[in-house]
Amino acid sequence: MFSDRIEYLTQRADHVASDPQKSAFAAHLTAERTRLDDLRRLSEQVIASNGGTAVGVELAYQAPNGTRYCAILEEPDSSGQGRIVYFDADALHRHQVHRSPAEALEQALTQGYVERANGTMDRLAATEAWRRGLAYSELVGRYASGEIDAQQFAAEVRKLG
């Protein structure tokens, strides 16, 4: 992903550089190319320090409202695809599937997850906040499937505290 985009930005910047009226645009393209090249190098370093694979890498993003995390995993269906699992101190929140774990890592890096956070999921999974978050997610699933109604859902959520 990075290599293709870097090549495109290089070609595009070279194309517009000859037009003085597009110098600001050329500078923007060059800056974006530099940013992606830095992320490409970071991706290579992360994979090298993780035994040559993106699988199992955990990263952090410092959001304005707190730290967010992600983990790079393989899809459980043995397709070779990669999955980004997003989480915070409370629970898992969502996931995205990509063609490979390496591509999933690249996507996470472009989203700002650039700090290594190895062991975070294991540490958080042992907390009471995580247990409550997973219990809440389970209730949402039961409600969405029709297993429980809105009143039962609300009563169960109150029990979680």
* pLDDT for the residue 22: 85
The CA distance from 97 to 95, in Å, is 7
pLDDT in tens, the chain (161 residues): 788 888 998 888 888 888 888 888 988 999 999 999 999 999 999 999 999 999 999 999 999 999 999 999 999 998 999 999 999 998 888 999 999 999 999 999 999 999 999 999 999 999 999 999 889 989 999 999 999 999 999 999 999 87
CB count in 10 Å sphere of residue 2: 20
* pLDDT for the residue 55: 98
The CA distance from 157 to 89, in Å, is 18
The CA distance from 68 to 63, in Å, is 7
The CA distance from 84 to 102, in Å, is 10
pTM listed for this prediction: 0.82
